[in-house]
Amino acid sequence: MLDTFRQFLSQGKSHIFSLILKGLFWLAPIIAVSIIILWIYDKINALTGSLFELFGFNPENHPFLWTLIGLMILGFMAYVIGLFVETRFGDFIQRLYAKIPGYETIKDLVDIFNTSKSGEKKVLVVLIKGFGKQGYNVGLMYSTKESILKEHYTVTLSMTPIPNGGYMFEIHQDKIYVIQEATFDSNLQYLLSMGVKSLPEILKIQPKSLEELPTLKHFLNNKE
């Protein structure tokens, strides 16, 4: 009974965290575009003079307090928005912002780091035959949408220790092996450590043989 209750609490926390994460990544490009718009407004307002003051307090007098309040409000908003992201309301807001130049680019860049994605957009950590004639490279699949080549998928091999660059390969589905325990975050830790930390050490699992890892084809078939 106690184990069941603990499992319920664990699942509840995971669900809440997932919603908050989804809400934050949905908000990020909107906030970025809004900041740019407000910055432009402030520049115009500085030339025309102060038009009005919304409230009678000055946050600069209590920066730590207002930072905490702001973080609490942002967390609550992200949780609520996480509930509405996939509804018509969320779709309407996103389509509205999509009309602003630059929004889609910012959204795509932010979306790379979103680990709460699912389905075709879920980030997978995989093994492929990369640069070496022997052995394999650890790479990322930012989506499971089919490539321009039939039964091929795009795999990105990141650089280390600064993983903001890399190489893209179009690989056949039978030659891509999925590391199901790994996430974008654990792969990032692996890259930043430059191999000082092994991936099994980060994932807290034992090394596996290649036969134990499902190919992308089997992974996708099992997901359906």
Q: Does 37 share its domain with 133?
A: no
- 121-133: pLDDT as tens digits: 578 999 998 777 7
Count of residues making up the chain: 224
Q: Does 162 share its domain with 193?
A: yes
DSSP H helices, 49-62, are none
Q: Does 69 share its domain with 158?
A: no
pLDDT (0 to 100) of residue 126: 94
Q: What is the mean pLDDT of the chain?
A: 75
Q: Does 99 share its domain with 123?
A: no
Integer Cα distance of 41 and 45 in angstroms: 6
pLDDT (0 to 100) of residue 216: 94
- 131-166: pLDDT as tens digits: 777 889 999 998 888 999 999 999 999 888 777 778
DSSP category for residue 117 = -
The residue range of the domain holding 28 is: 2-111
Integer Cα distance of 27 and 80 in angstroms: 11
Q: Does 175 share its domain with 77?
A: no
Lowest model confidence (mean pLDDT) among 11-15, 75-79, 101-105, 200-204 = 11-15
- Overall number of domains in the chain: 2
Contact, 104 vs 22, CB < 8 A? no
Evaluate if residue 171 carries a pLDDT over 90.
yes
Q: Does 25 share its domain with 74?
A: yes
Please state the rounded mean pLDDT for residues 161-188: 88
Q: Does 7 share its domain with 107?
A: yes
Burial class (CB in 10 A: 0-12, 13-18, 19+), 181: middle
Out of 76, 93, 111, a domain closes at: 111
More reliable by pLDDT, 24 or 188: 188
- 67-105: pLDDT as tens digits: 666 667 767 777 777 777 667 767 777 777 777 777 777
Integer Cα distance of 111 and 142 in angstroms: 9
DSSP category for residue 211 = G
The model carries a pTM of 0.55
Q: Does 125 share its domain with 185?
A: yes
Q: Does 128 share its domain with 194?
A: yes
Out of 111, 132, 147, a domain closes at: 111
Backbone angles phi, psi at 188, to 5 degrees: -65, -40
Distance of CA 11 to the CA centre of its chain: 20
Please count the CA atoms within 13 angstroms of the CA of 193 that sit on its side-chain side: 13
Out of 52, 77, 111, a domain closes at: 111
pLDDT (0 to 100) of residue 48: 47
Q: Does 85 share its domain with 126?
A: no
pLDDT (0 to 100) of residue 43: 58
pLDDT (0 to 100) of residue 224: 63
- 208-220: pLDDT as tens digits: 999 999 999 999 8
- 22-64: pLDDT as tens digits: 777 677 767 776 676 566 556 555 554 444 445 454 555 555 6
Q: Does 143 share its domain with 45?
A: no
Residue found under tokens 């740019």:
36
Using DSSP's 3-state secondary structure scheme, residue 215 falls into strand
Q: Does 106 share its domain with 136?
A: no
